Chain A
Amino acid sequence: VQPPEKPLQAEEWNKLREDFQLPEIFEEVMLNSMIRCNSPIDVAKSLLTHVAKRNGDIAYNVLVKYLTLCVQQGQVSEILDVYDIMKVRFKILESGAYNLLVRGLSNSDQWRMALTILDEVKKIMIPSRTCYESCIKAASRHQEMKLACELYNEMLAKDVVPTLDVLQSFFDFSRGMKGAELQKELFGILLYLRENQIYPHKTFMRSIKLWFESLPGGNWRGHLTNIKDSGQCPVCNHQLEDSKLTEEEYSNLSERIIRDVIHGTDTFRKTSPKEFEAFQTFVENRLPFDIVIDGLNVAHIKSRRMQCENLFDAVNCLAKENARLLVLGRKHMLTNSANWKREIMKEMQNKADFFFAENISEDDAFLLYATLRSGKHCRFVTRDFLRDHKACLSDSLTRHLFRKWQRGHQIVLKKKSFPSVFSQQPAFRYDCVVQTTGDTWHIPYKDVFEEKYSYQVPRKWLCIQQKL
């Protein structure tokens, strides 16, 4: 439906309505298309007047649609009028209308009104994150940083996840402002990024940089850089945090993996208690290993070659440096077949320890267990992302820990160069999170248009140091 260009008289509306296929929803459809075309507000008003005259009442959803149009065009007085009408007509509103009201008012001089509405929402439900977002932005736009921080902390306390936009607005609007309190809050936001392993995008990074450089008397300087593989920052020569887990984190993670991933609700789902026990004694007798290999995963790396040849190459390659290897496989690898030649298997078994699980057991769980038991230096080889095992962990903190450990300890064989030049993607030596030493900050960031998979970490960094 094409909305009319100018306000219509009642008869004209009536005619349009009768021509429409479904007269019951005519107003809704018409208002929707007005929102789409951003029609003048007077046209919508004339429609409402027509409806009010005919029915003596206007339905809630029609009012909300009208409100959407008002918010879209920033018609503050209209928004307030609609709010008054709604308040009288209905005891409470639903979240959609509240969101619109808060959004519409927060962008105007009446932004304090948005705060009172937010308070009203809090009485009934947990406000949505767009509600908080609009209010925080409005407060910081008017330099009321304290209020903004309060709202932000309240939001976190209610488990409402802030958008990067909100976080960025803090840095944008407090540029050049003094105050230890505020500075602490903003450092707190950076630590929030660290704890949740969030990487800011380029424009956000720029806001952070400008804020640091604008700090009066701080003498902060920011540089964009790439961190070397060794983990050293080329700008300030600072060594980034190690990717290794602390003792406590490490023992915590291995405990949780045994509990949640291997046993889960039922040990029989991935293995059997008998088999797991056998594996445990096997591992304990031969500890520690340097590299644990997922035999079947490596064996499938090149589909044209025999599976045991693939594995053989990998074992040969990794065995060079006198490393203690453990290869995990399944029993079917032992039966002489086209893909698994007995002689080659024999030869491999001289170079590495092998454990063969039942054909219906999951060998990945064993892989994790053996690597974790061997200690921090031990790494593992598989192309699997281990997502399903990560998903078994019950809380996000442990999942992050798992990711971090995985980044530091997983070796991924590259298909192309294998087996001639056996290259492996280096396990990261340094930890890829926002980090600080007090007088330096290192913040990884991603380009806005860069596609980032969850297993990838950004390679670009912002280095900020304080020149005293």
Chain B
Amino acid sequence: MQSANMLLRKIIRSSVLSLAAQHGMKKDLFPLSRTLSLSLCLKQDKSCEPSEKLDLDEWKKVMKSGLQEEVSETVSEPKELSSLAAARETLEMWRLAGRAVPENISEEQLKAFMECPSKSAKKKYLRYLHLRELHKKNDKRKMNEKRERRLEAQDQASKTDETKKSPFVCLWSSTMDKAYNWRAAQSMIFGQPLVFDMSYEKEMSVREVTNTVRQIVMSESCNRRSVDPFHIHFCNFKDDSLYHREFIKHYKEAWGKLLITVTDQCYTEIFPKDKLIYLTADSPKVMKTFDHDKIYIVGSMVDKSIKTGVSLAQAKRLGLETAALPLEKYLLWSTGAKNLTLDQMMHILLTLKDTADWKKALEFVPKRKYCGFVNKPVKELKKTLDLINTLKLGKGREEVEKQFAKNYPKKYKLK
């Protein structure tokens, strides 16, 4: 009985829809057209018949016939595949099924893919390759467009043919380089040391090491461009380590000419222990001011899996003083981990060194991580927060309270 009802309902619905479509009407006619549509449906059933002459299985014939030649080939060829070829084949099928898979994959990447320990690891790796491929393609396209535009511009310029007069020879970038290098060289003699601790290689995956090196390269370049650069030390740096290979990949022959100190010694062997301060987000101590006589250490580590306390452990082991940036004191933190990237650290430290202005320095913390600056002492903030809470009335309040209590333990409690 029920199924009969269902069937009836289905029929009604379908016919009404087609009716509505014919007359461009909306579905709200439904209750009115009930009896009408039933009879209409019977009619339609007959009207279906003419289309029956349409050969519904024709696609199968097409699919089979078009492949006759290929069939003979595949039959003759032995079916055994090597594991690499099989993997390549599987990838191809995934691509056809519309999954996020790169179009081209090198032998090396294929091996890395096969070594992934789990299904999800494989998926992630392929997705990463796929996205990288897309980015590369996009970049190439943009470059080509740019080149075309430049050529066009040149064409036009040659038509007008204007001669420019300028008192300087146009050599901007190389002159700037020289100036920067001069400053960096000075910093090697007189500058305040800044240590990158390169002892975390075994804590990281290959991709994390790659990311670390990229961040350090960015830090180095922004240091070189600053007014008063640090004297950068890479300590605990092992020759022929993964770090080393990645650096050479980035810098190529410039690696030997960098104006920084690279050593396999530990910072404790180079500098007096009481001058060293290890910067780590896990530190219980909060940095108040930037001290120009101290030597700050930054751990060269990208930590994608959650490994809290690794750099704090290192500092503890060596008995060094530690410090964390006063993020909570100056920023109303919202989301994200408190560990920052190395280049952000570099920007912050450089700004502190030049200006001693925390607000200016902490501008380099990514905007998504905080709601705004704490411009008043926490006590005064209470009023505003209370106002927000009363406005929000109840529901979100607990959430705000929790968030706040987490960020500002003990100091202040909402009523």
**A interface residues with partner B (beta carbon < 8 Å):** 2, 5-9, 28, 42, 45-46, 48-49, 51-53, 56-61, 64, 81, 85, 88-94, 96-97, 124-125, 266, 268-270, 272, 359-360
Contacts and interface: CB of A to CB of B under 8 A. Distances in A.
Contacts of B57: 45, 49
Contact of B313 (A49, A85, A268): A268
Given A49-B54, A125-B90, A88 B316 contact: no
A193 to B, nearest CB: 25
B310 A9 contact: no
Contact of B56 (A5, A45, A57, A89): A45
A269 B284 CA distance: 14
A28 B97 CA distance: 11
Closest 5 CB pairs of A and B: A268-B313, A60-B96, A52-B59, A52-B62, A94-B93
A9, A61, A81, A360 interface centre (most CB from chain B within 10 Å):
A360
A46 B56 contact: yes
Given A268-B316, A360-B312, A7 B62 contact: no
A96 B90 CA distance: 11
Given A60-B97, A266-B310, A360-B312, A88 B71 contact: yes
Given A6-B48, A360-B284, A58 B63 contact: yes
B317 interface: yes
Interface in B39-87: 44, 48, 51-52, 54-60, 62-64, 66-67, 70-71, 74, 81, 86
B372 interface: no
B56 A90 contact: no
Interface of B: 14-15, 17-18, 44, 48, 51-52, 54-60, 62-64, 66-67, 70-71, 74, 81, 86, 89-90, 93-94, 96-98, 284, 308-310, 312-314, 316-317
B98 A61 contact: yes
A71 B71 CA distance: 26
Nearest to B68: A88
B74 A91 contact: yes
16 contacts: A6-B44, A7-B54, A7-B56, A28-B98, A52-B63, A57-B62, A57-B63, A85-B64, A88-B64, A88-B67, A89-B63, A90-B93, A91-B74, A91-B81, A94-B96, A268-B314
B63 A49 contact: no
A48 B60 CA distance: 9
A49 B93 contact: no
Nearest to A359: B284
A10 to B, nearest CB: 8
B90 A9 contact: no
B58 A81 contact: no
Given A7-B54, A268-B316, A269-B309, A61 B63 contact: no
A92 B93 contact: yes
Nearest to A2: B17
A122 B197 CA distance: 48
Contact of A5 (B14, B60, B309): B14
A359 B55 CA distance: 80
A85 B57 CA distance: 12
B51, B52, B81 interface centre (most CB from chain A within 10 Å):
B51
Contact of A89 (B67, B86, B97, B309): B67
Contacts of A51: 59
Contacts of B44: 6
Contacts of B54: 7, 9, 46, 49
Contacts of B51: 6-9
Contact of A94 (B60, B67, B97): B97
Given A90-B93, A269-B310, 17 more contacts: A5-B14, A6-B51, A7-B56, A45-B56, A49-B54, A49-B59, A58-B63, A88-B67, A88-B70, A89-B70, A92-B93, A268-B316, A269-B312, A272-B316, A272-B317, A359-B284, A360-B316
A91 B56 contact: no
A53 B58 contact: yes
B89 A52 contact: no
Contacts of A124: 86, 90
Contacts of B89: 91-92
A52 B94 CA distance: 22
Contacts of A49: 54-59, 62
A194 to B, nearest CB: 26
Contact of A53 (B17, B62, B97, B316): B62
A42 B201 CA distance: 60
Contact of B90 (A48, A61, A92): A92
A85 B56 contact: no
A269 B56 contact: no
Contacts of B313: 266, 268-269
A360 B284 CA distance: 7
Contacts of A42: 56
Contacts of A91: 74, 81, 89
B317 A268 contact: yes
A85 B66 contact: no
A45 B59 contact: yes
A33 to B, nearest CB: 13
A60 B284 contact: no
Contacts of A359: 284
A53 B14 CA distance: 28
A356 to B, nearest CB: 16
Nearest to B63: A85
B48 A94 contact: no
Contacts of A45: 56-57, 59
A56, A124, A269 interface centre (most CB from chain B within 10 Å):
A269
Given A46-B54, A124-B90, A268-B317, A58 B284 contact: no
A286 B253 CA distance: 64
Contacts of A28: 98
Nearest to B203: A265
B112 to A, nearest CB: 18
A38 to B, nearest CB: 10
A217 to B, nearest CB: 42
Nearest to A358: B316
A99 B71 CA distance: 24
Nearest to B53: A9
Nearest to A360: B284
A282 B313 CA distance: 23
A98 B141 CA distance: 38
Contacts of B14: 5
Contacts of A53: 58-59, 62
Nearest to A272: B316
Given A9-B51, A125-B90, A268-B314, A81 B96 contact: no
Contacts of A85: 60, 63-64
A12 B412 CA distance: 70
Nearest to A38: B10
Nearest to B50: A9
A266 B315 CA distance: 12
A52 B314 contact: no
Contacts of B71: 88
Nearest to A55: B62
Contacts of A56: 62, 66
A2, A28, A45, A359 interface centre (most CB from chain B within 10 Å):
A45
A56 B64 CA distance: 10
A350 B312 CA distance: 35
A85 B71 CA distance: 11
A58 B48 CA distance: 26
A189 B48 CA distance: 54
A48 B59 contact: yes
B14, B54, B71, B284 interface centre (most CB from chain A within 10 Å):
B54
A60 B63 contact: no
A270 B312 CA distance: 10
A49 B93 CA distance: 23
Contacts of B58: 49, 52-53
A61 B97 contact: yes
Contacts of A5: 14-15, 17-18
